[in-house]
Structure 1
Amino acid sequence: MRPDLAVASLSLVLVTAASAPPKPPSIEGTYRLVSRDMRNGTKQVPPTVDGLMSFSKGYRNFNIYVRDSAGKVLSLSYVASYQLTPTEYHEKSIFFLLNDESSGKGATYDLSGRSGAAPVTLTGARVAFTFPLHDEPAVVFEGTRMTATENGPYGSFVDHWERVP
């Protein structure tokens, strides 16, 4: 190969690689809720609070169960499609089920199929964003751990999740 063609080919490879947007670390996997830190300093662990969340092939499945100090149960089940880019987390709801005994409403369903997006912050292998629908918490993924921080209609707490091997 001629030297000038080799340099041109190498330059094209370097320019193409340099202009590619950063790829976010993968959040795929199944996460188990390990503990919940409450605002008053107490810690809840299973079976008082328990949950599982999976991200797989563009789908998210989220299930959580919480029993309050009065023995009332809140359970939530949610399925959505999602897409994670270096700059945005996008989600489209498939179904959302909330059963909140303390509200006295019983089970409520949202089958509207609404969608939403939220900005993503990437710092090394750390991925942070707020789930855009259903007043869900801000989340941070780092390695095999996920932390969810909520200050909203479901209370004020920090959940600690670990990826299931």
Structure 2
Amino acid sequence: MNRPVTRESYAHRLNRVAEHIWAHLDEPLDLTALAQVACLSPFHFHRIYKTMIGETVIETVSRLRLQRALAGVTVGPEVETDDTVTIHDVAAGRYAVLLYRGPYARIGQGYEELFAWLPASGEEPAHAPCVEVNLNDPRKTAPADLLTELCLPLK
């Protein structure tokens, strides 16, 4: 595989496999079928794929499916916040806190609102991670009714 011609041939074959994977993500994709697309034996295909790509073909398929699923997550109008950001003094420091109501899958909208509030507030964020405080039990609460305090650390 160290010869440039061999590497080029493998790269061309793996590009065909990548195109096949993208075109058939909703279908079962097994090692044998993908090896056939590459015109290699399953054993040789697995070894070459792992060496050149850095992950197994099954890891690639799983990662691509997850990326596609995450790309489809959108923020809908049914997500609500109370439009009020308050500042709390706690032992760990000061935090801007926004009460978010809605499913965890769309909690990004709450963070967008919290960070949109920041420039006009005159506050500066601290160099620390945000904290979430879940106020009810997701096992017993409908996703639309979940309450989460989004806490942004302040300087």
Which TM-score band (shorter chain)? under 0.3
**Structure ranking higher in helix proportion:** 2
Give the TM-score of the pair, scaled to structure 1: 0.20
**CA radius of gyration, larger in:** 2
**Structure ranking higher in strand proportion:** 1
